[in-house]
Chains A and B, each alone.
Chain A
């Protein structure tokens, strides 16, 4: 079992990240373990403020300094601990070349005072050393790749002249310009219209297949992750509370938080939405982060932090018969109970 674990292409181990505030260091992220295989998609779901973007920035070594601090842990990528890389190594070897990221707000991700061309050119020149005509040719190819029409015209425009969908496609083109093996997509469709969302998701999906990229897809929508990703993880207050094949997680949620999340998805018109009663309990300083909102938590939940445990789920085995023994993990002492 331990042997198998080291084989992950991308793996986070015991990561803990904190922010320095005037009250001291406040932990924002605490992930015991998260692994992604080569060519696999992993969807990370959590409400806003759960630490999703912090995780993405930590992986790229772009945590805002000096406020953000890595307290512990390692992020292994292709056998190398990214957290031990120098800023220079990160910039020269990893960011842009092997790791790419798509940000959540296309409106603010492109630099407003440079044309599309000026922004693509810099990245291509920096990463591939292409100049002049070759660079332009490659840029147009990239814009074609993300299925943008009229690229010759588009390339001389400023970001404010483009629509949100166009911008996000350009951002994807820039991010993937150097054939990154690992893509972090941080809620790439959050600020887009629904119709445009579908196009962008389809594009990312196709590119993932074409380039056989590993993708860490961050979102706040469980059903979206279920369609798009093989594996899913649920993040609550910086802690991974449940993880498994996305199908299993959606069909058979184990952690009470996941159950609440999934019960909040409307399935059909006739079904009445179940909203769990909001109960107000004091925060458990040393206990489960979900304690204050949990309906099944008992006394020991407020004093002990539950670790991720493995569960074998038979119910979903038949629907996924191509996978042997699907493993689902949850961080709850009473996992599987109903809320």
Chain B
């Protein structure tokens, strides 16, 4: 198993290098005048010349890439054109809000998607299967950003149950001391015992949470269903039933554990989708995360910031997939 993981980590490093190269290519080679993009739309000749030197654009490509890599390893993603602040720092500040959303929807995907898929496979071609398939296909066909708007229209404008956006109510933000320990708002409220703020935060995360979670729930349910259908046909399932084991044991332990490979892969994939979906929805809910950050970067032509988010997300996604593969390696069949 160590050998497998080692090989996988090595492959991961190669992939990371490749990702770095592609982003380098997109940012520095594809645009006709990268320095102009890097210096910003209103830059004068002098600033562009300065950017050329800063990026090393006057040097050969290989040297440029070398500098690009060293910057990446040092965590230096450049400065935002809009705020002139280091992008790494801005990303770290907006990370917790996004992680909260992504985590919530991943939990939903695991605890709603997987059972939905299992039940659907168990009751194949029954009413509940049709319903769950239609739901999961619908969930992956919905434009996430549209769902956000429709939920706002319904629950804020018409019913007025949930707030339109933001992480907290304005009154609370002004009047109360917001705990800041880890940066994860809800978590910080919990450990400081600040339940007023916690519930306000909970109230605010409902709509963006639902918006973001629909896609991964559907995706995970679909994949779990097809994996389970295959497994339920295996001999060892029939054998387990012939031993008189409870159907519950057969389904949720005997069969489900065999689907660990496809399900953990799809959960990793769904986290990737969730991350990207936050790009589309956070700005709708004025959620102060990475998604809002990249939307405003796009609107403001802030190329270094766009690139920073791209590199950061791609790297986290590669690491995530690595983690999923290591979980799969726990499958005894892979262990040798």
Residue numbers of A with Cβ under 8 A of B are 57, 60, 62, 64, 66, 87, 91-92, 94-97, 99-101, 103, 105, 108-115, 122-123, 126-127, 158, 160, 171, 174-175, 177-178
Contacts and interface: CB of A to CB of B under 8 A. Distances in A.
Contact of B242 (A64, A92, A95, A110): A95
B319 interface: no
A103 B246 contact: no
A219 B214 CA distance: 52
A112 B333 contact: yes
Main secondary structure of the interface of A (DSSP, over half): mixed
A61 to B, nearest CB: 9
A103 B257 contact: no
B242 A126 contact: no
Contacts of A97: 244
B247 to A, nearest CB: 7
B332 A123 contact: no
Nearest to A112: B333
B58 interface: no
Contact of B333 (A66, A99, A126, A160): A160
Contact of A113 (B238, B242, B249, B258): B258
Nearest to B261: A113
Contact of B246 (A91, A105, A115, A174): A91
Interface of B: 125, 233-236, 238-247, 249, 253-254, 257-258, 260, 331-333, 335
Main secondary structure of the interface of B (DSSP, over half): helix
A322 to B, nearest CB: 35
B336 to A, nearest CB: 8
Contacts of B236: 108-112
B244 A91 contact: yes
Given A103-B239, A108-B235, A96 B257 contact: no
Interface centre among A94, A101, A105, A111 (most CB of B within 10 A): A111
A60 B333 CA distance: 30
A114 B257 contact: yes
Nearest to B237: A111
Contacts of A109: 235-236, 239
A122 B254 CA distance: 10
Given A113-B332, A122-B245, 13 more contacts: A66-B125, A91-B245, A92-B244, A94-B244, A95-B241, A101-B239, A109-B236, A111-B254, A111-B257, A113-B333, A114-B257, A123-B244, A126-B245
Contacts of B240: 111
A199 B279 CA distance: 65
A105 B235 CA distance: 8
A57 B242 CA distance: 9
A37 B236 CA distance: 30
A103 B235 contact: yes
A57 to B, nearest CB: 7
B332 A95 contact: no
Contact of B257 (A94, A113, A122): A113
B333 A62 contact: no
Given A66-B125, A111-B258, A103 B238 contact: yes
Contacts of A96: 242-245
B23 to A, nearest CB: 38
B234 A108 contact: yes
A175 B238 CA distance: 12
B331 A113 contact: yes
Nearest to A92: B244
19 contacts: A64-B233, A96-B245, A100-B243, A101-B242, A103-B235, A103-B242, A108-B235, A108-B236, A111-B240, A112-B236, A112-B332, A113-B258, A113-B332, A115-B332, A126-B249, A158-B332, A158-B333, A158-B335, A175-B243
Interface centre among B235, B254, B258 (most CB of A within 10 A): B235
Given A103-B235, A114-B257, A126 B246 contact: yes
Contacts of B233: 64
Nearest to A106: B235
Nearest to A63: B238
A60 B332 contact: no
Contacts of A60: 241-242
A320 to B, nearest CB: 35
A175 to B, nearest CB: 7
Contacts of A123: 243-245
A250 to B, nearest CB: 30
Contacts of B234: 108
Contacts of A126: 243-246, 249
B335 to A, nearest CB: 8
A112 B245 CA distance: 17
A39 B241 CA distance: 24
